[in-house]
Amino acid sequence: MKNEISIGLLGYGTVGEGVAKILHQHKQDLQHKLGAEATIKKVLIRNKHKERDTTLDPAIFTTDIEDILNDSSLDIIIEVMGGIEDARQAIEKALKAGKQVVTANKDVMAEFGDGLLKLADEQKCDLFYEASVAGGIPIIRTLEDGLASDRITSLMGIVNGTTNFILTKMKNENMTYEAALAEATRLGYAETDPSADVDGIDAARKMVILSSLAFSTVVHLEDVSVRSMKEIQDGDLEIAAKFGYTMKMVGSSKKNEDGIEVAVEPVFLADSHPLSAVNNEFNAVYIHGDAVGETMLYGPGAGSLPTATSVVSDVIAACRNLQLGVNGKRTHASQHERVIKPYSGCFAKYFYRLLVKDDVGVLSQLTAIYSNNGVSLQSVMQHPAKVDGKAEIILLTHQISRKQHLELLKNLEGTADVISHYRIEGEDKA
């Protein structure tokens, strides 16, 4: 057994600093748990002249990644540098050098995770990535270990804190989207360019990771149906509340004998569903398994110390494996062939908010369009319109396919202007 485990840290930004802080502050506790001292020996930084408030020796900082990747004395490489291609190459090179790797990089794991995990298996190395999804929530380990005996049939989550913060402010404080986004940016929850968050790409990458793991298959980013939260219209949140729903940016993944469906989009979520109470920057993942039934994990989805906690938990796992000599013994090969459902096999209830001419017979034309598309309506109501000579009609359907939904949107052209439309989640099917 080793007396000291040497670590190379790639990146010293928000998460990297958090990792160093936890390893320093919890040094004695970790040493007791591992029977060895886990020590950061080298750190990759961009600017060697930047002043840093750190307990680390400045002599271990380097701007040359090869100083770390080529150092044979290092046992574990932690990748928290961000980006995609440089990070992917670094992880690949570290694994080929026989090092254990811990990453927080959701972008790399979503796009290249399958290949990197296969490489880790070939090299008999560990590749851990708990911090790539939902910050401080131990969702990866729960799916890999805690629920390993179960068969997961669906998972639904709020996995992007920026969009959840914005929607919380819009609902609870009547903020406009622009004002809520500005507040999220000011508090550091949103990037200067928030596109990946608000357009659903960040959440889609996380759902790729979770779906691949939960269903033991390979899911690609292009398999995810994605809608931006920028499509939410004024008044939608208030209408949702009147019908007993909360607007949430939700990632969902479902599997049955026909295949898998994955989506990220703003949805009307039933107020009775546990995810509807998840507010501000918090994340949560709601899981359904054949044996366990329903369970939910909740916690901070981002931030220096929450994310660093997940990184260090992976470091501990890698260290324990090193001490036992069992690194790389867990296989990551997918069990099932990749089968993605066509839109004709993806079913849900839908909400439509339409603007029509306030004329006799228009409602009959609308209901005829729905009927001709094989869509059964659960409820129809008129909502006060702000445009003279126009009526606002709200329709809720029973279960229909996503294909029917998209065809409806086309068929409504010429009869109605579609103000907004959303999938309905979190209530009993009907």
Residue-wise pLDDT tens for the chain (430 aa)? 889 999 999 999 999 999 999 999 999 999 999 999 999 999 999 998 888 889 999 999 999 999 999 999 999 999 999 999 999 999 999 999 999 999 999 999 999 999 999 999 999 999 999 999 999 999 999 999 999 999 999 999 999 999 999 999 999 999 999 999 999 999 989 988 999 999 999 999 999 999 999 999 999 999 999 999 999 999 999 999 999 999 999 999 999 999 999 999 999 999 999 999 999 999 999 999 999 999 999 999 888 999 999 999 999 999 999 999 999 998 888 999 999 999 999 999 999 999 999 888 899 999 999 999 999 999 999 887 778 889 999 999 999 999 999 999 999 999 999 999 999 999 865 4
Q: Cα(175)–Cα(170) distance, rounded to whole angstroms?
A: 4
Provide the pLDDT for residue 138: 96
Q: Which superfamily does CATH assign the domain made up of 139-300 to?
A: Dihydrodipicolinate Reductase; domain 2 (3.30.360.10)
Residue 78: Cβ-neighbour burial (10 angstroms; 0-12, 13-18, 19+): buried
H helix or E strand, kind and range, residue 177: helix 177-186
Local structure of 148: helix, strand or coil: coil
Provide the pLDDT for residue 428: 67
Residue 351 · residue 379 · CB < 8 Å: no
β-pairing verdict for 245-256 and 259-270: antiparallel
The residue whose two tokens read 């990644």 is 65
- Quick one: which of 183, 180, 174 has its CA closest to 238? 174
- Quick one: which of 155, 107, 151 has its CA closest to 129? 107
Which of 206, 248, 341, 349 does the annotation list as catalytic?
A: 206
Computed over its alpha carbons, how large is the radius of gyration of the chain?
Answer: 24
β-pairing verdict for 259-270 and 417-425: parallel
- Quick one: which of 299, 304, 320, 319 has its CA closest to 20? 304
Residue 128 · residue 229 · CB < 8 Å: no
Q: Which CATH number fits domain 4-135+304-324: 3.40.50.720, 3.20.20.140, 3.30.2090.10, 3.40.50.1820?
A: 3.40.50.720
- Residues with Cβ < 8 Å from 378, sequence gap 6 or more? 349, 396, 397, 398, 430
Residue 71 · residue 64 · CB < 8 Å: no
Provide the pLDDT for residue 181: 96
Q: Which superfamily does CATH assign the domain made up of 343-425 to?
A: ACT domain (3.30.70.260)
Q: What is the DSSP string of 372-427?
A: HTTPPEEEEEEE--SSTTEEEEEEEESSEEHHHHHHHHHHTTTT-EEEEEEEEESS
Q: Is the pTM higher than 0.85?
A: yes
Q: Cα(228)–Cα(214) distance, rounded to whole angstroms?
A: 25
Question: Would you state the structure tokens that stand for residue 159, as one six-digit string?
Answer: 């996995």
- Quick one: which of 219, 207, 198 has its CA closest to 339? 219
Q: What is the DSSP string of 25-68?
A: HTHHHHHHHHSSEEEEEEEE-S-TTS----SS-GGGEES-HHHH
Question: Would you state the structure tokens that stand for residue 289, as one six-digit string?
Answer: 């398994």
- Quick one: which of 174, 177, 173 has its CA closest to 162? 177
Question: Would you state the structure tokens that stand for residue 247, as one six-digit string?
Answer: 């607007």
Give yes or no: 206 in active site.
Answer: yes
Q: Where are the domains of the chain?
A: 4-135+304-324, 139-300, 343-425
Provide the pLDDT for residue 207: 98
Provide the pLDDT for residue 48: 85
- Quick one: which of 181, 226, 229 has its CA closest to 205? 226
Provide the pLDDT for residue 430: 41
Q: Cα(228)–Cα(207) distance, rounded to whole angstroms?
A: 15
Q: What is the DSSP string of 164-218?
A: HHHHHHHHHS---HHHHHHHHHHTTSS-SS-HHHHTTHHHHHHHHHHHHHHTTS-
- Residues with Cβ < 8 Å from 318, sequence gap 6 or more? 76, 100, 102, 126, 128, 327
Q: Cα(204)–Cα(220) distance, rounded to whole angstroms?
A: 10
Local structure of 85: helix, strand or coil: helix
